[in-house]
């Protein structure tokens, strides 16, 4: 799965940045979704880990766009993203 540089969501263009470990400022996190900036940042790691984090942050973005109360439910977001990742990686 390719990590994109940008995508569109609800008429807005979002940027995706892969940030090298030395430049990463969010200790304890491996990804950040900013609806205000239309930006997702992902800590540079192995490809599979970055894919999982990207889908996690996509899920946050989609739930926020839907004004869903699930937006900040980390357990839900993580499990949903993991399921989606498995579907996408194993599809034939």
CB-based contacts of 30: which residues, under 8 Å, 6+ apart?
A: 42, 43, 45, 49, 53
Q: How far is residue 36's CA from residue 3's CA, in Å, rounded to a whole number?
A: 21
Give 1 or 78, the one with higher predicted confidence. 78
* 37 is a domain residue: yes
* 1 is a domain residue: no
What is the span of the domain harbouring residue 60?
6-90
Q: Alpha carbon of 64 to those of 43, 54, 73, 89: distances in Å?
A: 21, 15, 11, 25
* 73 is a domain residue: yes
Mean pLDDT confidence for 37-55 = 97
pTM of the predicted protein model = 0.93
Counting the structural domains of the chain, the total is 1
Q: Which pLDDT score, from 0 to 100, does residue 33 have?
A: 96
């Amino acid at each position: 799965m390719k990590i994109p540089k940008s995508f569109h969501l609800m008429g807005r263009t979002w940027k995706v940045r892969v940030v090298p470990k030395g430049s990463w400022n969010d200790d304890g996190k491996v990804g950040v979704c900013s609806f205000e900036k239309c930006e997702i940042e992902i800590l540079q790691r192995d490809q599979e880990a970055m894919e999982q984090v990207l889908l996690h942050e996509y899920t946050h973005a989609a739930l926020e766009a839907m004004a869903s109360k699930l937006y900040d439910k980390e357990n839900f977001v993580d499990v949903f993203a993991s399921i989606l990742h498995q579907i996408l990686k194993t599809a034939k």
